[in-house]
Amino acid sequence: MRLLKKVTAVALASCMAMSLAACGGGSSETTKAPAENTAESTEAGDDTAETTEAGGEADATEAPAADGPVANKDKPLVWFNRQPSNSSTGELNMDALNFNANTYYVGFNANQGAELQGTMVKEYIESHIDSIDRNGDGIIGYVLAIGDIGHNDSIARTRGVRSALGTAVEANGAVDSTPVGTNTDGTSSYVQDGTLEVNGKTYTIRELASQEMKNQTGATWDAATAGNAINTWSASFGESIDVVVSNNDGMGMAMFNAWSMAQGVPTFGYDANSDAVAAIANGYGGTISQHADVQAYLTLRVLRNILDGVDIDTGIGTADEAGNVLSADVYEYNEAERSYYALNVAVTADNYQDFMDSTVTYAPVSNQLGEDHAAKKVWLNIYNSADNFLSATYMPLLQKYDDLLNLEVEYIQGDGQNESNITNRLSNPSQYDAFAINMVKTDNAASYTNLLNQ
C-alpha cells in the first residue's frame, strides 16, 4: 500500500513536469519507486554468502567487499551532477549508467526545475508590470546567461525560460536552446518575440541577448565570463535590459554584482547558493533550489547501501535504523534511467528566509549511522574547483554527510577543462571501495570506466 501511494505521488510530480511545453529529453516518463532494486541487493547478498562460506567467516551483515577483493569494475559507482549523455543530442549513455549492477546517477528533475524557473520569472514580470519596462518602449527585454550548451540541465533551463516567456521556437521537435548572440532587433530565428497581456495591456517580451559562458580555456558555466558579458551588453543596449536571467547563480551573481544590482534590474539564477539567496534582500529576483541537500545525501547514501549489502532503498524511501528517510515530495527514482532525481523548489522574496544557508543537511536524513556501518573509502571528484554551486553548496554538504554515513571520502577537484586532470588522480582505484564521479563533459564517462575496467 505504501509503495502504491508513493508511486502515485511520484507519477503526479512527473505529470506536472511533463506539462511543461518545453519538455524534451524527459527525465520522468518511467518513474517507479526505488524498491524495484531488491533484485540487485539480493544478488549482492548472495555474493556475501559465497564469500562468507569460502572465507569461513560468518559475518552476514558485511558487504561483499569485506572479505575478498572486489574487482574495480564491480565496485559501486555513482555519477552525479553531470549525467552520462550525448552532449549534442542529450541522449542518455545507458552503457555508462549500467556500467555494473551497482551503478546509479544522482541529479535533479531538470524539466520540473526549468518550468519553475520560467514561471518564477514570468510571475515576477506580471507582478511588477508597472515598473519593469525601464525605457517605456512596451518591450520587456531580457538577457540570458547559458551555462553549457551540451549539458542537459543547462538546455532544460534555457528551454524553460523561453517557454514560459513565450519566446521559444521549435527545432527538431523540441524547444530550440541555441544561444542567440545579440537579438536587439528581434530577428533571431532561434527565438521569437513573445507577448504578455497584463491588465488589458499587451507587452512584447524579447530575448535581447544570450551566450554560452565559456572561458578562453574551455571552462563552462563561467561566472567571470558572464560578468564580462553583461558589461558588454549593458554598454551597448543597457536601457533595454529589464530582466537578467541565468542558468545558474554563479553566473547570475556575477552579472548582478557587475551591473544589475546598481541598476535595480531583477536577476534570476538557479541553485539557491547562500550568496544568491542573501542577495534577494538587495533585489536579486529569485533562484531555484535543486535540493542539493537531498542530492548530496543520495550521492553517498546509495554507495553506503551497496557497500552494506542492504536494499538500495534503505534510508531513502524506507527508513533506516537511525530514522533517516526521504519523502516522495523531495525526490523520485527512475528505474529505467538508473537515476535518482531531487525535486526543485522556487526561492523568492516570499520564502528566501528559509534558505539562507545552502550547506545545512536535510533534517529528515541527518541522523548519524552507528559504528556497525564500517568505515569505507570513497573516491569522489568535483569537475571544477571554481564551480560556485559544486564548491559552495554541494561539496560542503557531502562533507557533512560523509561523517553521518561513516564514509572516508577523498575529494579531488578538477580544473573544469580536462578530464585527464582528474583521471590522473585515480591511478590506483584498488585503494577505494566505491566511486562518485562528476565528469567535465557528459560524453566522457569512458575516461573513468576504462580505468575501472583495467
CA separation for the pair 157, 353 (Å, rounded) = 24
Binding mask 106-135 for Ca ion (x = CB under 5 A): ---------------------------x-x
Per the structure block, which three cell numbers stand in for 184? 536587439
Q: Where are the alpha helices (DSSP H) in 166-291?
A: 223-237, 249-255, 261-263, 274-279
The answer to whether the beta carbons of residues 331 and 298 sit under 8 Å apart is yes
CA separation for the pair 418, 158 (Å, rounded) = 25
- Binder of residue 153, out of Ca ion, ligand BGC, none (CB less than 5 to 8 A by kind): ligand BGC
Residues near 71 by beta carbon (within 8 Å), at least 6 away in sequence = none
Q: Nearer Cβ to ligand BGC, position 250 or 315?
A: 250
User: Nearest to residue 92, comparing CAs of 108, 109, 105, 78?
Assistant: 105
Q: Nearer Cβ to ligand BGC, position 102 or 248?
A: 248
- Binder of residue 137, out of Ca ion, ligand BGC, none (CB less than 5 to 8 A by kind): Ca ion
Which positions lie near ligand BGC, rule CB under 6 A? 81-82, 147, 153, 221, 248, 250, 270-271, 387, 389
Q: How far is the CB of 160 from ligand BGC (least distance, A)?
A: 13
- Binder of residue 313, out of ligand BGC, Ca ion, none (CB less than 5 to 8 A by kind): none
Q: Nearer Cβ to Ca ion, position 192 or 366?
A: 192
- Binder of residue 271, out of Ca ion, ligand BGC, none (CB less than 5 to 8 A by kind): ligand BGC
Percentages of the chain per state (helix, strand, coil), in multiples of 5: 40, 20, 40
Which listed residue (46, 53, 137, 410) binds Ca ion by CB under 5 A? 137
Q: Nearer Cβ to ligand BGC, position 271 or 308?
A: 271
Helices and strands, counts by H and E, the chain: 15, 17
Q: Nearer Cβ to Ca ion, position 89 or 135?
A: 135
Return the bridge partners of 197, or none: 202
- Residue of closest CB approach to Ca ion: 133
Backbone angles phi, psi at 307, to 5 degrees: -65, -30
Residue type, 75: K
- Binder of residue 332, out of Ca ion, ligand BGC, none (CB less than 5 to 8 A by kind): none
Q: Where do the DSSP E strands lie in 119-227?
A: 139-146, 170-171, 174-175, 181-182, 194-198, 201-212
Q: Nearer Cβ to ligand BGC, position 308 or 387?
A: 387
Q: How far is the CB of 359 from ligand BGC (least distance, A)?
A: 15
Q: Nearer Cβ to ligand BGC, position 117 or 361?
A: 117
Backbone angles phi, psi at 124, to 5 degrees: -65, -45
Binding mask 139-168 for Ca ion (x = CB under 5 A): x-----------------------------
Q: Nearer Cβ to ligand BGC, position 66 or 161?
A: 161
Per the structure block, which three cell numbers stand in for 144? 540570458
- Binder of residue 444, out of Ca ion, ligand BGC, none (CB less than 5 to 8 A by kind): none
Measured at the CA of 358, the angle between CA 356 and CA 361, to 5 degrees, comes to 115
User: Nearest to residue 388, comparing CAs of 109, 86, 81, 94?
Assistant: 81
Q: How far is the CB of 70 from ligand BGC (least distance, A)?
A: 29
Q: Which stretches of the chain bind Ca ion, using CB under 5 A?
A: 133, 135, 137, 139
